[in-house]
Amino acid sequence: MLYEGVPGDRMVKLLQIALKCIYKSADARPTMSQVAEMIHSLKEEEDSIWNFLLRYAILSAEAEELDDYPSPTKPQRYMNLQSQS
């Protein structure tokens, strides 16, 4: 069972990192600093995805507001397209 609020794909990636730590050969195992870097990279990747999604949601909401409220700040081309539909 996954922990509440932790996405399954994140758990899989963390488990993959953990499995590298138990390789039979000590030479094949990552150092703790390498493990920390792998986890940090995973977090940075997730943060960038969430930041992108947040920006997309904000821009989508702003675009919906433009559709609902005609204003003089809308480009004329956009206004012409709206009147044709």
Write the DSSP string, 42-62.
Answer: HHHHHHHHHHHHHHHHHHHHH
The separation between the first and the last C-alpha atoms of the chain, rounded to the nearest angstrom, is 51
The amino acid present at 83, given as its one-letter code, is S
Does the global pTM surpass 0.75? no
Give tens-digit pLDDT for 18-71. 999 999 999 999 999 999 999 998 888 878 877 788 888 888 777 766 665 555
Which tokens belong to 25? 């050969």
Do residues 42 and 10 make contact, with C-beta atoms less than 8 angstroms apart?
A: yes
Helix crossing, 8-20 with 32-68: angle to 10°?
A: 160
Comparison of pLDDT for 11 and 29, the residue scoring more? 29
